[in-house]
Structure formats: structure tokens, C-alpha cells
Amino acid sequence: MSKKEKFIFNTHTLTYEKMVEPLKDRIIRVFKFLSTALVTAVLMLVLLYKFFPSPREQHVINEKRAIEEKYVALNNKYDQMSKVLDNIQERDASVHRTMFGMDPIDKDVWNGGVGGAARFVDYDQTVKEAMLKAERLEYQLVLQSKSLDTLQKMARDKDKMLTSIPSIKPVREDKLNRSMFLMSGFGWRLHPVHKVRKFHAGLDFAAPYGTPIVSTGQGKVVKVESGHGYGNHVVIDHGFGYQTLYGHMSRVDVREGETIKKGHVIGRVGSTGTSTAPHCHYEVHFKGNPVNPLQYCMDGLSPAEFQSMVNTANVVNQSLD
């Protein structure tokens, strides 16, 4: 009897009869077997591919993992660089506000972005984040660079402004009448010749005839004239809205259009024009209006001497011109 042969007991004949499997059932059974074998083979291949990749595949996987690790490290580095740049921007803003009185970079502009992540739709999330941070950092670096260019220009202008703004007395320190008794200040004074109250737009610095008169700031000579009133006088434009006038000179040592530095001798003390004694009539104009020159004559004086000058200049007396 073959092991593959099957028999069934026939109750009618009371004998065992050989069972014959229909062809249809045999086909179905073979199909099921083949299907199961195919699915099993596919699963085995998938498992082998996943857990046991080929050397080439393993190399690609290792490279991908290394790149992802580098992008994570790059993201962290971008975060650190961004914090440093934010700190620089805060210090930049402080300099703008405290030193130059100007508005710093607007926070909304600083924190504004470039494009959205939609441009990197085909990239891995880690790569997207790294590329977005790189673009933002580049954007902020450009902003900060422009801001530093502005600061550099303002610093140069500030340095020029400090050199140009009148800040010293027009008469040499060693020749100035230190007692200040003959000083006439800014404001309404009795005119020495016309004997009427007249607005005195400057300070009169009494000094010996021929004493050097110096420019109180860097600038350009815009007027050299003579005649009644101020007599021989010079007007210097210092820029930044400032001009100074030096009157009653005995001699003028500069010419119109000449650029001069602070402390440069421009003439000598005299008594030309409407004047009663040798002195330098000194005026400071800001944006076309005369201002009190006292605020621009701080050099070389002790606090007590400066206060004495203020007190004397504020006395309603007779001017020297």
C-alpha cells in the first residue's frame, strides 16, 4: 500500500475502497501550496533586506546616518551662532541708542524670515531645519553688516563733529584776562557808543592788542570783511549747523575758502569797527541763530573760573562793542 494512497470504508459493501481526489481539488491544493511558498519567500527577502543588507546597501545606510548626525550637529552650531549674533545685535542697538541717539534695527525686521519651508519640500526634515537656519543666519549677518557700516560712518562723522564744533576760547589762554572784569556777556547790554540797550549776540574777550585769535573748531572760512560794526572780522563755517564770528581784529591772517583746524591762528586782537577797547567779539551761531558762547568755552578753566566767567557775563553791563 502506498503512503500517498488513501482509503475510505464503504458501509454498504463493508469494504475499504481507494479514495480518488478530484482534479479540481488537486489544482486548488497545489495553488494554495505555491501561494504560501511565494508569500513566505517574499517575506524572507524583505526580512533579509532589512536586517541583512548587502555591503553596498550597508554603505549607503552608514553614509545616510553620518549625514544626519552632521546635520544635527550643524543645527546645534547654527543655534549657538544665532545666540552670539543676537548678542552682537543687542550691543549694536545699545550703541545706536546711547551714543548716537538713533533707532537700532527694528526687532520685527531682525526677526523676520526669508522664505518658508515649502521651498525645501523634497528634503528631509533635519535638512530643512538646517537650510532654514542657514538662510536666516545669512539674512541677519547682512543686516548686522549694514548696521556696522552705519555705525562706522556715524563714528567718523561723530569724530569730525567733535573736532568741528566750537569748544575752546578764541583768545589764547596765556593772554586772556583771567579776572574777567572786562568781559561782556550774551544778552541785552548798553551799547558803549550809542548808549542804548542793544542785544549783544556774543562774548567780548578782553586781551592786549595783537593777541592771537584762534579758530574754536575745525571749519572753512566763509567770510572776511571789514567796516563799521564788527570792523575786521571773520566768519567760519564748522558744519553740523555751526558758524562762529570773530570781530574787531587788528589784522586778519586767513582768506575766504581756506580750510583751517581747531586752534589755528586766524588774526589778532584789535579795536576796529564800533569798539572802545582791544578785545575779541566772539559769536556762535547754530542753524542761523546766535547762541550763548559760554557753553562752548569750557577749555582751560577751573570750575571756579568758569563760574566766575558765567557770573560776570550775566551781569547787565556795558559791552565793549
pLDDT for 41: 79
pLDDT for 293: 85
**What are the helix (H) ranges across 101-205?**
107-111, 125-164
**Whole-angstrom distance, CA of residue 182 vs CA of residue 179:** 8
pLDDT for 275: 83
pLDDT for 231: 92
Q: Distance from CA of residue 32 to its chain's centroid?
A: 79
For the chain, what percentages of helix, strand and coil (3-state, to nearest 5) are there?
A: 45, 20, 35
Helix (H) or strand (E) holding 46: helix 23-51
For residue 318, what are the β-bridge partners? 190
Indicate the domain borders of the chain: 7-51, 69-164, 173-314
pLDDT for 180: 42
**Whole-angstrom distance, CA of residue 270 vs CA of residue 3:** 146
**Whole-angstrom distance, CA of residue 268 vs CA of residue 279:** 9
CB-based burial, 237-270: b 16+ in 10 Å, e otherwise: bbbeebbbbbbbbbebbbeeebebebebebbbbb
pLDDT per residue, tens digit, the chain (321 aa), is 455 677 776 677 777 767 766 777 778 877 787 888 788 878 877 777 676 667 777 777 778 787 777 777 777 877 777 787 777 777 777 666 556 666 666 677 667 665 555 555 556 676 777 777 777 778 778 887 777 777 777 777 777 888 888 988 898 666 555 444 445 565 556 555 555 566 667 888 888 899 999 999 999 999 999 988 889 999 999 998 899 999 999 999 999 999 999 999 999 999 998 888 888 999 999 999 988 888 787 665 555 655 555 555 555 454 455
For residue 284, what are the β-bridge partners? 244, 291
In the CATH hierarchy, which fold is given to the domain comprising 173-314? Glucose Permease (Domain IIA) (2.70.70)
pLDDT for 219: 95
Helix (H) or strand (E) holding 187: strand 187-190
**Whole-angstrom distance, CA of residue 39 vs CA of residue 31:** 12
